[in-house]
Amino acid sequence: MQAESSFNVLGQPLVPCSFDPLTGFFRDGCCKTNEEDAGSHLVCAVLTNDFLQFSLRRGNDLITPRAEYQFPGLVAGDQWCLCLNRWIEALEANCAPMIKLESTNAKALEKISLETLLQYAAIAEI
Q: Which residues pair with 43 in a beta bridge?
A: 82
CATH number at residue 15: 3.30.56.110
What string of pLDDT tens digits covers the 126 residues of the chain?
445 568 999 999 999 999 999 999 999 999 999 999 998 999 999 999 999 999 999 999 999 999 888 888 999 999 999 999 999 999 999 999 999 999 999 999 999 999 999 999 997 643
Strand ranges in the chain using DSSP code E only, listed in sequence order: 41-46, 79-83, 98-99
- Residue 4's pLDDT is 54
How many domains, the chain?
A: 1
Question: What sign for the dihedral angle of Cα 68, 74, 78, 83?
Answer: positive
- Residue 124's pLDDT is 60
- Residue 111's pLDDT is 96
Residue type, 76: A
Domain range for 2 is 1-126
Helix residue ranges per DSSP H, the chain:
49-57, 84-92, 114-119
- Residue 49's pLDDT is 97
pTM: 0.91
